[in-house]
Amino acid sequence: MYNFDVERPTSIADAVQAMSKEEAQPISGGQTLIPTLKARLAAPSVLVSLTGIEEMKGVCMSDDGRLCIGGGTTHSAVAAEAAAHYPGLASVAARIGDPAVRNRGTIGGSLANNDPSACYPAAALGSGATIVTNSREIAADDYFLGMFTTALEEGEIVTEVKFPIPQASHYEKFIQPASRFPLVAVFVAKFSDGVRVAVTGASNDGVFRWTEAEEALSANFSADAVAGLKAEGDMISDLHGTAEYRAHLVGVMTKRAVAAIA
């Protein structure tokens, strides 16, 4: 690692101020950033730790019926605290990585990182969530811009995520056993006015909505409705699976998710 300074703000306002320093970068659970620093793939001069900001932690219901999760809330806290309100989302958090990762990693860090195989991006996009930062609110449909790329601007901090709660949802994750990340996973959310389907792990463009499946499932919510569909796009091909295999898995995971809900 290179040398760097560490700032430990205790409020969002102080974190924003610390982030204005040259080459400052936020750190939350460090589950992604620390290995990145160790590999010398990043060299910030100031790390702004968000872990001491209490106003960024916890789960609550908003007046408009959305589930609000602080950006600094760990995966294990989401798994425990969201279960009564949004079990489909709690189940996503409960299956991220292993206990050590879940006890340190945060929803804000995961959404800021936008790993093309991460779980929360699928849950956020599939739920039609809103990503709240220190300066604005961004609809999930406008937030995920590609692999490791988001609408966040320099110095912007994810402070909260607001989730509309569907009638039913399910996250079907085909685990890559070495990393615990999904090889491919699909989040299906059934709302009163339609169905949303978000796919992670499959595309070189990162998480995406499978709109063809959404239309079919909104008309007929059954696994048979997606049986003849094939996900198109620039699929990832690597030593774990070819592009064709991943496209196939998208269909299989979607059918399983729908069957689990039905």
Ligand X SMILES: Cc1cc2nc3c(=O)[nH]c(=O)nc-3n(C[C@H](O)[C@H](O)[C@H](O)COP(=O)(O)OP(=O)(O)OC[C@H]3O[C@@H](n4cnc5c(N)ncnc54)[C@H](O)[C@@H]3O)c2cc1C
- Provide the minimum distance between the beta carbon of 79 and ligand X in the complex, in angstroms, as a whole number: 12
Q: How far is the CB of 218 from ligand X (least distance, A)?
A: 27
262 contacts 188 by C-beta, under 8 angstroms: no
50 binds ligand X (CB under 6 A): yes
User: In whole angstroms, how close is the CB of 199 to ligand X at the nearest point?
Assistant: 14
> Which CB, 134 or 218, lies closer to ligand X?
134
- Residue 130 within binding range of ligand X, rule CB under 6 A: no
Residues 203-242, interacting with ligand X (CB under 6 A): none
57 binds ligand X (CB under 6 A): no
Q: Under the criterion CB under 6 A, does residue 21 sit at the interface with ligand X?
A: no
- Is 105 a binding residue for ligand X by CB under 6 A? The answer is yes
Cα–Cα distance for residue pair 138/145, rounded to 1 Å: 12
Choice between 37 and 188, CB closer to ligand X: 37
Order of all β-strands in the sheet with 24-27:
5-7, 46-49, 24-27
Distance CA 88, CA 191 (A): 13
Q: Of the candidates 70, 71, 88, 201, which one interacts with ligand X according to CB under 6 A?
A: 71
Concatenate the DSSP letters of all residues of 84-153 into one string. Answer: TT-HHHHHHHHTSS-HHHHHH-BHHHHHHH--TT-SHHHHHHHHT-EEEESS-EEEHHHHEEETTEESPP
**Structure tokens that stand for 220 in this block:** 């007929």
Residue position matching structure tokens 């995961």? 110
* Binding of residue 110 to ligand X (CB under 6 A): yes
Shortest reach from residue 73's CB to ligand X, in Å? 10
Among 24, 67, 79, 119, binds ligand X (CB under 6 A): 119
**CB under 6 A: which stretch of 79-87, 177-185, 244-252, 253-261 binds ligand X?**
177-185
- The residue among 71 and 206 lying less far from ligand X, judged by its C-beta, is 71
Amino acid at 245: Y
Question: How far, rounded to the nearest angstrom, does the alpha carbon of residue 83 sit from its chain's CA centroid?
Answer: 17
Amino acid type, 106: T
**Burial class of residue 57, CB neighbours in 10 A (0-12, 13-18, 19+):** middle
Among 7, 18, 24, 25, binds ligand X (CB under 6 A): 25
CB closer to ligand X out of 92 and 217: 92
- Which residue in the set 157, 183, 249, 258 belongs to the binding site for ligand X (CB under 6 A)? 157
Torsion, Cα of 80, 77, 33, 53 (10° steps): 170
Which H/E stretch holds residue 176? none
Taking CB under 6 A as the binding criterion, the range among 23-31, 76-84, 201-209, 250-258 that sits at the site for ligand X is 23-31
Question: Which parts of this chain interact with ligand X (CB under 6 A)?
Answer: 25-33, 50, 71, 96-97, 101, 104-106, 108-110, 112-113, 115, 118-120, 157-158, 179-181
